[in-house]
Structures are given as C-alpha cells and as structure tokens.
Amino acid sequence: MKSKKIKTRNLPQDRMVVRTVRLKPLGLCCGIFMAGVALLLLRPRMMTLGIVIMLLGLFATFIMPDRILCEFSLKYMVIYNQRDTTQCMIIYYDELFSWEYEKHGTSDLLVLTLKDGSVETQEMYSRASILSPMNSYAPNKEIRHRKRKGASA
C-alpha cells in the first residue's frame, strides 16, 4: 500500500495542491465583516451594531486559530489529523475503498476506508467543502445512509 502515515516534510515537493480545506471559513468571516461595514454605512442609526459585527468578523479572521484539515492533489489526498503536527496521512485515491461523512454534535467526521480494511477519520465542519473534490477524485465511493420513514432520531 502506498497510502501511509508520513512526516509532513517528506511530502512530495513537486506536488500540485488542487484544493485545500481549512478549519476557518475565511469567506464567511470576510462576509461578516462586510455586513458590518454595510450596516455601518447604510444605517448610521445602527452604528453600534455595525461596529460589533465588524469586530466579530475581524476577531474570527485574525484571532481565532486556523489550520489545514486536508489537501487534495490529482492522485492523492493528505489529511492532517495526527496528534503530532509534524505527521500527516497520505491516501491515494486508487487505494480508497469508500468514504462517508458523519454528522455529530460538535464536529463532523470524514471516514475513509482503505482497501486493506484500515479506517482513517478526519474532523470536518462542512460537508460542502469536501463533497465536490471527493466526488471528483473518488467517484461512486461515497456511502450514504438513507433515513427510514418513522425512524426516531
């Protein structure tokens, strides 16, 4: 199996990263800031609320922690879920048996099952951020659970 845990410094230097999934949604943070600016400019009576929203956007953008959750390349994906931040897991798409997105209360999980039976999990916060690249590079490998009628949640 080519898929394995490696040191991040041993990742191929010539790799071309097509998509990166980060912990912090920068687009949303900037959108919050811009909403505060718009509120401040368009509704001067709501200046306090506009300033609070702007500060919230700035706080989320510059103060809250951020890290890379996973990267997608043409032949493999790299997931950074190791306790040791100098390590990562490289998973080749041809060795991927199935993948599943599980929703949980605090954070969701991307569950990757390899052809040798091993399972890797990655903490995620948005299904939309990984749906397109996973369907592009690992098509028809998603496990979907159908909700049954009358089943209690």
- Terminal-to-terminal C-alpha distance of the chain: 39
Four-point Cα dihedral 98, 102, 108, 110, nearest 10: 0
Residue 99, burial from CB neighbour count under 10 angstroms (0-12, 13-18, 19+): buried
pTM for this entry: 0.77
Using CA atoms, how far residue 87 sits from 42, 90, 122, 128, 152, in Å, is: 48, 10, 14, 26, 40
How are beta strands 108-114 and 119-124 bridged, if at all?
antiparallel
- Express each pLDDT in 75-93 by its tens digit: 999 999 767 788 999 999 9
Across all residues in the chain, what is the average pLDDT?
87
**CA 11 – CA 70 distance, rounded (Å):** 13
**CA 24 – CA 36 distance, rounded (Å):** 19
- Express each pLDDT in 11-52 by its tens digit: 888 889 999 999 888 888 999 999 999 998 888 888 889 999
User: Is residue 51 classed as helix, strand or coil in its secondary structure?
Assistant: helix
